[in-house]
């Protein structure tokens, strides 16, 4: 079956992935590529349309990112968003200038001309602006379709070609008509087919893995999370007995993690070897409090163990469950995006590594991975587990890590998660966990004064981890969680609830 393909040229916006989310939710396949992809590479991919993303850059920067202008001669629909629209307008001889005041936030859209891209979008709908440059004098080949309530150009169209530009961000939830706007461009303007689903990736991913490994041997480390499990099953299906799986017990896993995950994995035909490495991880992390340093140490230690296991099994490849949100937050891959933090399986990897990586989920969202896993026959108990970071509890223990502090966090986290499951809330929350804070406070237990640790509980709702809102857990459940943790876990006398959204916060604390 032939799938329509949408190419997104990434100029480094932190919300480029949200464009892809919107397109894929329409059951249309899309890929994010670098902004400077050549016209020949685009012709090879044969996209139905192209979307130009936003960027933290300005078109007035000395070395501002630009695309190959030959792309405009391909006679396929193009949509420029924010920075992408400004680049297009500049090429079409419009005048773009720096705004004295950056336009940021909700702005009403005033329609001037009707067009397919505006079908079923009401006048005065709320759009979300975030830009410092403004199109103030359109070129002769441009028609203005809509303006903001303040008079600036909001949407324009080339008079002779299917090329559009929008100053607002239709990909963010704050634009009330964003999904409809993107749908109009994808279907009404570009004539894409909505026949793609993540479950249909199994065949292409299997071939991709086989082409990469080419008869070689691979190893995979399974953490018990969704990503490592799905990637391991996918690779096992592709190369069979040439994959050796193992679980590294870092001493930083959730309580009874290995006992819980092994039965599920064995049912899937994956029988991982368990490597007890808790002593080496805890010794290397002793006295380390900087979160980035923790991640680097953990990444380096993992790779040492991987390479040792690879030598034993004569493997050349390492399978990892890296997702795109890991990539975009760790390193600038597609465009000039800003680094937020290092993930141990991306930015935390050593520069020189003997093993070649196999990352079959690298271009997928978390929810897409769950769909893929379900199609592979992985049980719901494993697929529906909340995300768990590769560095484990190391980044949920703020400050120094030792065995005592790990045990405190494991016990508290286990109580928290079990109560959420008992109250039928676990499946309604995207991710929930405890954080051990390096602050001791005064408390009273019985007739005695205590001076013990504080635990923060975190619960968020999200689709892909790129943005998240804090979950509204009922007060009576919060009360139960607090009481159970304080009464059952020695060393804790205070529980606090994190009500921060992402952005501006991150989901994890470190």
Distance between CA atoms of residues 363 and 81, nearest Å: 21
Beta bridge partners of 461: 469
CA distance 182 to 419: 41
Residue 387 CB-half CA count within 13 A:
27
Helix (H/G/I), strand (E/B), else coil: 158: strand
Best CA proximity match to 419, nearest among 389, 457, 448, 382: 457
Q: How confident is the model at residue 368, as a pLDDT? A: 86
406 touches 393 (CB < 8 A): yes
Mean pLDDT across the chain, nearest whole number?
A: 87
Structure tokens at 350: 């050593």
Query: Phi/psi class of residue 503: alpha, beta or left (left: φ > 0; alpha: ψ in -120 to 50)?
Result: beta
Q: Hey, which CATH number is domain 5-189, 3.40.50.880, 3.40.228.10, 3.40.50.300, 3.40.50.2000?
A: 3.40.50.880
- Write down the residue that tokens 């959730």 correspond to: 254
Helices (H), 256-395: 257-267, 278-284, 291-313, 324-330, 366-375, 380-383
- Nearest of 170, 163, 137, 171 to residue 152 by alpha carbon: 137
Q: What is the pLDDT of residue 466?
A: 74
Q: Which of the residues 30, 49, 171, 344 is marked catalytic?
A: 171
Helix (H) or strand (E) holding 422: helix 403-422
Q: Where are the domains of the chain?
A: 5-189, 198-383, 402-497
Residue 339: its pLDDT value, please? 40
- Residue that the structure tokens 């990352």 belong to: 359
**Which ranges of the chain have pLDDT less than 70?**
1, 98-104, 131-133, 325, 327-353, 444-449
DSSP structure class, residue 335? S
Give the pLDDT score at 195.
Answer: 87
Pairing type for strands 356-358 and 317-319 reads: parallel
- Owner of token pair 């239709």: 170
Q: Where are the beta strands (DSSP E) in 55-185?
A: 78-81, 95-111, 126-137, 142-148, 153-158, 163-166
Query: Could you give the CA distance from residue 177 to residue 15 in angstroms, rounded to a whole number?
Result: 17
CA dist 383 → 13, 162, 260, 386, 469 (Å):
30, 42, 13, 9, 22
d(CA 357, CA 365): 19
pLDDT recorded at residue 135 = 77
Tell me the CATH number for domain 198-383: 3.40.50.620
In angstroms, the CA 105 to CA 103 distance is 7
What pLDDT score does 331 carry? 39
The rounded distance, in Å, linking the Cα atoms of 25 and 23 is 5
Contact 379, 264 (CB under 8 A): yes
Determine contact, residues 141/109, Cβ cutoff 8 Å: no
Give the integer Cα–Cα distance in Å for 324 and 364: 6
Determine the pLDDT at residue 335: 47
The residue written with tokens 């004064």 in the block is 449
SS3 call for 237: helix
Map tokens 């990637």 to a residue: 231
Q: Answer yes or no: 169 catalytic.
A: yes
**DSSP string computed for 114-140:** --GGGTT--TT-EEEEEEEEEEEE--T
- The 10s digit of each residue's pLDDT in 411-421 is 999 999 999 99
For 62-120, what is each residue's pLDDT tens digit? 889 999 999 999 999 999 999 999 999 989 988 777 665 555 678 899 999 999 999 99
Q: Do domains 5-189 and 198-383 have the same CATH topology?
A: yes
- For 402-497, CATH gives 3.30.300.10
Is 174 noted as a catalytic residue in this protein? no
- Based on the number of CB atoms within 10 Å of its own CB, is 86 exposed (0-12), middle (13-18) or buried (19 or more)? buried
For the chain, the C-alpha Rg in angstroms (whole number) is 25
Check residue 499 and give its pLDDT: 97
| Cα–Cα distance list, 295 to 298, 383, 391, 426 (Å) | 5, 25, 6, 28
Distance between CA atoms of 235 and 222, rounded to whole angstroms?
Answer: 12
| 344 classed as catalytic | no
- The answer to whether 171 and 51 have CB atoms below 8 angstroms apart is no
> Of 131, 169, 344, 386, which is the active-site residue?
169
Q: Is the peptide bond before 503 cis (omega within 30 degrees of 0)?
A: yes
User: Which tokens belong to 240?
Assistant: 């069979």
* pTM of full prediction above 0.85: no
Residue 64 and residue 12: Cα distance in Å, rounded? 11
C-alpha pair distances (Å), 117 with each of 163, 183, 437: 11, 8, 50
Nearest to 239, CA basis, from 313, 303, 344 = 313
Instruction: Indicate which residue of 82, 131, 192, 411 is catalytic.
Output: 82
């Amino acid at each position: 079956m032939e799938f329509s393909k949408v190419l997104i040229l990434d100029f480094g916006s932190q919300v480029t992935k949200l464009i892809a989310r919107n397109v894929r939710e329409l059951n249309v396949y899309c890929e994010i590529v670098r902004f400077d992809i050549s016209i020949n590479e685009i012709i090879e991919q044969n996209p139905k349309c192209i979307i130009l993303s936003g960027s933290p850059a300005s078109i007035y920067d000395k070395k501002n990112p630009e695309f190959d202008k030959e792309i405009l001669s391909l006679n396929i629909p193009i949509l420029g968003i924010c920075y992408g629209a400004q680049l297009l307008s500049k090429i079409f001889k419009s005048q773009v200038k720096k705004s004295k005041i950056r336009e940021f936030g909700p702005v009403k859209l005033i329609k001037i001309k009707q067009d397919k891209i505006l079908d079923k979008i009401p006048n005065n709908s709320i759009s979300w602006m975030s830009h410092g440059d403004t199109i103030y004098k359109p070129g002769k080949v441009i028609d203005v379709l809509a303006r903001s309530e303040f008079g600036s150009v909001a949407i324009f169209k080339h008079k002779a070609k299917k090329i559009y530009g929008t100053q607002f961000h239709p990909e963010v939830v704050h634009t009330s008509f964003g999904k409809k706007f993107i749908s109009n461009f994808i279907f009404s303007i570009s004539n894409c087919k909505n026949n793609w689903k993540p479950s249909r990736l199994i065949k292409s991913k299997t071939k991709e893995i086989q082409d990469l490994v080419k008869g070689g041997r691979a190893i995979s480390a399974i953490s018990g999370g969704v990503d490592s499990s799905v990637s391991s099953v996918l690779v096992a299906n592709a190369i069979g007995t040439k994959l050796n799986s193992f679980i590294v017990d870092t001493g930083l896993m959730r309580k009874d993690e290995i006992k819980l995950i092994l039965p599920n994995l064995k049912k899937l035909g994956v029988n991982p070897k368990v490597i007890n490495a808790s002593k080496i991880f805890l010794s290397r992390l002793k006295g380390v409090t900087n979160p980035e340093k923790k991640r680097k140490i953990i990444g380096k230690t993992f790779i040492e163990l991987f390479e040792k296991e690879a030598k034993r099994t004569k493997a050349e490849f390492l399978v990892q469950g890296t997702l795109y949100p890991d990539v975009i937050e760790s390193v600038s891959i597609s465009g000039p995006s800003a680094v937020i933090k290092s993930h141990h399986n991306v930015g935390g990897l050593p520069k020189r590594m003997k093993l070649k990586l196999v990352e079959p989920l690298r271009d997928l969202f978390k929810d897409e991975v769950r769909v893929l896993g379900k199609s592979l026959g992985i049980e719901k108990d494993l697929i529906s587990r909340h995300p768990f970071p590769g560095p484990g509890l190391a980044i949920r223990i703020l400050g120094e890590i030792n065995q005592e502090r790990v045990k405190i966090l494991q016990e508290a986290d286990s109580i928290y998660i079990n109560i959420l499951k008992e109250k039928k809330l676990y499946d309604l929350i995207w991710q929930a966990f405890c954080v051990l804070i390096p602050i001791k406070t005064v408390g009273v237990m019985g007739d005695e004064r205590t001076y013990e640790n504080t635990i923060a509980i975190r619960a968020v709702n999200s689709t892909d981890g790129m943005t998240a809102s804090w979950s509204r857990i009922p007060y009576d459940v919060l009360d139960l969680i607090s009481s159970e943790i304080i009464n059952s876990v020695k060393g804790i006398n205070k529980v606090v609830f994190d009500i921060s959204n992402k952005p501006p916060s991150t989901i994890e604390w470190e």
